[in-house]
Amino acid sequence: MFALGEGPAADPAGAHFDRRIRSFQPRRSRVTRGQGEAIRRLWPRWGLDIDGQRVLDLDALFDGLPVVLEIGFGMGEATVRMAADDPGTGILAVDVHTPGQGNLLNLAEQAGLTNVRVANGDAIILLSEMLRPDSLAGLRVYFPDPWPKKRHHKRRLIQPEFLTLAATRLRPGALVHCATDWEPYAEQMLDVLTAHPEFENTREDGGYAARPAFRPLTRFEGQGLDKGHVVRDLLFRRVQGGAEG
């Protein structure tokens, strides 16, 4: 297992950003021996805490590769497959689930990958405080928490305010790719992305996209499809000459 100070912090941003409504449930579940060992060995090299106290040099972090931000990666299987299929793109993968962080690090090492970095904490703080304008080549949000109860809808990640922030960090032409199996959330995603002036749908008919070949079908997703769930993909691009910040 990893010792205190060797892995992701329990609350990397401390009390600096406590007032924001969070779109995730912080959880530090029990890690397996293999996950803990991967964190202990690999976190100093491939991991970082989202503390909001510094600006990242993505060129240095990824040896000059274009970087895609992935928010919420679960146990990391799909992230590793995408990274292996596209070694010319860096993936900055953000999550708060310690077992998933350890699993992703372990899988990346087993696959011999060098284009994955794991960030621990709040993606909003990462975007607002730690990334430079126009520094990202893409954004991926796959199967985010749908917060199904109406009183919790304000916690959903894909909101106009989030898209406005993300637009300042995405290069013109950058691809925003969302996927969900929760139909009401898919409808909200399509509505807010379509209405936002900084993004345009890659579909000429203005609807959902087919799952692109680069997004792997995950085991969880396959189980949902077997049960009759409908998975929606949305592919939008950051427009030219958009927001500054």
| Per-residue tokens: 241 | 């000459």
Q: Mean pLDDT in the chain? A: 90
Model confidence pLDDT, tens digit, residues 80-133: 999 999 999 999 999 999 999 999 999 999 999 999 999 999 999 999 999 999
pLDDT interval class at 241 (50, 70, 90): low
**Exposed (0-12), middle (13-18) or buried (19+): which is 72, by Cβ within 10 Å?**
buried
Residues 6+ apart with CB under 8 A from 4: none
Q: Name which of 18-27, 72-81, 127-136, 170-179 the model is least confident about.
A: 18-27
- The per-residue DSSP string of 55-116 comes to ---HHHHTTT--EEEEE--TTSHHHHHHHHH-TTSEEEEEE-BHHHHHHHHHHHHHTT--SE
Q: Which of 109, 107, 105 is nearest to 95 (CA)?
A: 105
- What mean pLDDT comes out for the span 155-165? 96
Q: Name which of 13-22, 131-140, 141-150 the model is least confident about.
A: 13-22
Cα–Cα distance between 53 and 51 in angstroms, integer?
5
- What mean pLDDT comes out for the span 168-188? 96
Superfamily grouping for domain 37-238: Vaccinia Virus protein VP39 (3.40.50.150)
Model confidence pLDDT, tens digit, residues 191-216: 999 999 999 999 999 999 999 999 99
pLDDT of residue 245: 43
pLDDT of residue 222: 85
Alpha carbon of residue 151 to chain centroid? 24
Model confidence pLDDT, tens digit, residues 64-83: 999 999 999 999 999 999 99
Domain ranges of the chain: 37-238
Q: What is the set of active-site residues? A: 145
